[in-house]
Structure 1
């Protein structure tokens, strides 16, 4: 065992040094996710950084959607001994005030995207339900996540154009636990998995509160995970609003959502995705065989850029969609993340 700076803090959870996690599961991860937008169809920026202690890797990405542009900058390195070091190439994340203020930086680089942004939470960080999925005897997901809506300040530089960011909106989450990461494993009996991922994740930001909503169902329409909670800026939390019911409307011949209704008890929220970002394209979430979260890219740090344009590259744009969403209920209008994916069989498609 080797010590690291974390071991000087009274935070141990197991008879191990802090750089080692309490499980030997290769798929353990610890990740940041942020999105940033002005509440319009002008631009959306998504940033992520993860550590994969049992794979010895850390990586980061940023993707921006602006007009017809889909641009990604991504970086990877060996994790090393110090898990307090969040730098990955030109990326770094600084916790300025725990659960409240963070700084997210992508230093200038050759790939045409950089930023220096400060996040301030608008509601208390909120712990979501534990996400647990066992399939064919293997635990596929066992993770927890905290979520928060808030505001951004700073600037984004895109192709030499500086875009001021002043009280832009966004959501962030921190999740850790077990989920598929790294190089593909031999499927074994998992080859029988139907491959369904029917998912809605909608953190909605209103003037003085947020609604955090999650729906996941399996191939038979059974609930795997659900959440519907209203959190007020002053810290009040309504933990049970009712069972969320999700009713999307798809563009003809596709599974692209054009509008949706979420009913939560007596609340009916009308949802409109106004700027879709294809989260899985170039970022490491799973479409490129050579670049996945936690995948070892070699002993030397790697920084890459990927640029696509629409509609020319529309055939690449599939998978999970993270859209800027417009949300309306009871005369109130808010914005936030409208994240969805409808993959594989599900009763709503029969």
Structure 2
């Protein structure tokens, strides 16, 4: 694995990639005060399948709007699909994202600029059957400038936080996971991030990440503990304790009451990389006071906009979580 990440997305269908090979990005965008809306967008190339697909998910105080699109990779110039286009202005430093008018009533034209270095690792997880999951994973914190339009009403997003997530490789998740947490807590001078995976017995499969500072410091995460409250499979609130290689311990208190962020609306749960021909587009709205929840959807994976508190410092960010729907699993706190 290279220590210098190649930011351009792989698109050659003749490069000998495995069928499950993917190269994709996801970026979130939200105000610094943890108020709605929360915007998550992403796009992926699947060269062996000649597929490119993407999504936009917007969560307001009352609803979640989902937009999904797909086409043949060979029918594109490699800079987008459907209403979403992107430009890597400066690799690993600056991206432009645009979403044109569409049936979901969501559009934006924004520039994301890094405020921290990136953190890059190779993720490898064993599976119950088949080869292991193995892919490069990069995260990096930044800020936005530009505009967001909902139903014709336009607002500036200057200064909003956003986490960039890039992944490239082969994902072959075969089951057996119990708890999944991906945390990106944004504070004025740093981002606290980690990926934690436990099996259904509560044993750790993975715990890694880093605290990324605006001054360029990268402090690797070496330990993660958690005490979370769920209503069925949906997160209410909780505390995570993040210990770094430098010996710092961050006790982060998260308020997840904002609701929404259900990633089934983005095509997670088996929808990514499927051949749908040219010009596919689908959309719907989840009412947050309705029956939609992590148990009723295709996947329980949720990217929740949370208010974070670290001592007296307040922050905001995304806490991604998923509990298995296996009846044999019970959540276990790892903090006293």
Same topology, TM > 0.5: yes
- CA deviations over 1:189-221 (Å, ceiling 9, x no partner): x6xx55x34111111111111211221011122
Specify the alignment match of 2:67 in structure 1: 73
Specify the alignment match of 1:8 in structure 2: none
TM-superposed CA distance for 1:228, in Å, is 4.2
Distance 1:96 1:276 in 2: 33
Contact 1:30–1:176 (8 Å) recurs in 2: yes
Aligned match for 1:306, one of 284, 299, 304:
284
- CA deviations over 1:12-65 (Å, ceiling 9, x no partner): xxxxx9714765421111011011111323211110100011111001110111
Runs of 4+ aligned residues of structure 1 deviating over 6 Å after TM superposition are none
Distance 1:257 1:216 in 2: 16
Deviates more, 1:168-177 or 1:226-235: 226-235
Q: Alignment partner of 2:80: what SS?
A: coil
Q: TM-score, normalised by structure 1?
A: 0.82
Q: TM-score, normalised by structure 2?
A: 0.85
Question: What is the root-mean-square deviation of aligned Cα atoms in Å?
Answer: 2.5
Distance 1:304 1:81 in 2: 19
Higher radius of gyration, 1 or 2: 1
Specify the alignment match of 1:3 in structure 2: none
Aligned match for 1:132, one of 124, 127, 133:
124
Contact 1:132–1:142 (8 Å) recurs in 2: yes
Deviates more, 1:306-315 or 1:44-53: 306-315
Distance 1:35 1:174 in 2: 12
Contact 2:68–2:283 (8 Å) recurs in 1: yes
Contact 2:11–2:47 (8 Å) recurs in 1: no
Q: Alignment partner of 2:54: what SS?
A: strand
Q: Alignment partner of 2:331: what SS?
A: helix
Contact 1:49–1:58 (8 Å) recurs in 2: yes
Distance 1:216 1:136 in 2: 15
TM-superposed CA distance for 1:147, in Å, is 0.4
- Call closer, same or farther: CA 1:136–1:228 in 2, change over 3 Å: closer
Unaligned runs of 5+ in 2: 1-5, 244-248
Distance 1:228 1:174 in 2: 14
